[in-house]
Amino acid sequence: MPWTSNISTSSAPERGRLRRAALRLVGLGAAIALGAYSGLHLFLPLAATALAWWVGARALRGTRRLILPAAAVQVGHLLWLTFGQVVTGTLDAGVIDLVILTVGVAWLVARPGLAPTVLLTLYQAWALVSNGTALASATPGTLAHRALLVHVVWRLLALVLMWRAYARCRRARDASAPA
């Protein structure tokens, strides 16, 4: 096949662009599938994340802007969790989630670094295991299954984006350090 030889001889930057484009298409497909399955359960955290991103884009300056994706996803999740507590009218063990997430994200935004990233990673990993266990026992198609799936996806996004932001902040700090 003639097109395969073009791929093998393409430059590394070109292969990188193609790989990123393919990943974006896979991500878009996964997002569409998640939205089709989860419906309103995706809309609330997605809208809250978009709002947090919009506010953060106007409030964060300099290298703090590097944490915007990680902070926005977690603030969006926090707003969704808070909405759930308010709507149900119950203040239960879920309040601990709100406190840890609020303190962790505030710390991450105020002083991006390893310590708040580790705190939020420990929290998100614990919550991911908890949500993943509940998801595994929920009946597919139920409201609980749809909501738990979105929780799991948001927690995975938070973990990936946090460590990506940490690496970018570290590179920016190292680049600006005197030689």
Longest Cα–Cα distance in the chain: 64
Clarify whether residues 88 and 156 are in a common domain: yes
For the chain, what is the domain count? 2
> Quick check: helix, strand or coil at residue 20?
helix
Tell me the pLDDT tens digit for each residue of 1-46: 455 545 555 677 787 788 888 877 777 777 777 776 778 788 899 9
pLDDT score of 178: 74
Judged against a pLDDT cut of 50, whether residue 174 lies above it is answered with: yes
Clarify whether residues 32 and 97 are in a common domain: no
Which two structure tokens, joined as six digits, stand for 94?
């879920």
For residue 64, the enclosing domain spans 39-172
pLDDT score of 27: 73
Q: Classify residue 179: in a domain, yes or no.
A: no
Crossing angle of the two packed helices 143-176 and 114-137, in degrees rounded to 10: 160
Tell me the pLDDT tens digit for each residue of 99-114: 999 999 999 999 999 9
Crossing angle of the two packed helices 40-59 and 143-176, in degrees rounded to 10: 20
